[in-house]
Amino acid sequence: MLNSLKALRAEKGWSQAALGDRLDISRQSVNAIETGRYDPSLPLAFKIARLFGLQIEDIFTDAENAD
């Protein structure tokens, strides 16, 4: 799954650790999501979307259907 989490985080000026603190996850988990090594659970995806004031689909994209 592709995502724009790194860009959104950068816009806020947050480190991976700061974003992890806001989401109650580790910095390593933030890094794994940003690099596509880990897909977040649906509840975590909703939490991320709420934090940035966006819809899940605005942040996460199905890699198979991304053109």
Average pLDDT, the chain: 95
For residue 66, what pLDDT is reported?
A: 63
- pLDDT score of 55 more than 90: yes
CA nearest to 38, candidates 26, 22, 55, 53: 26
What is the pTM for the complete model shown? Answer: 0.91
Domain at 2-65, CATH from 1.10.260.40, 3.30.70.260, 3.20.20.150, 3.40.50.10490:
1.10.260.40
- pLDDT score of 67 more than 80: no
CA nearest to 47, candidates 23, 14, 16, 25: 23
Half-sphere exposure of 30 (CA within 13 A, CB side): 22
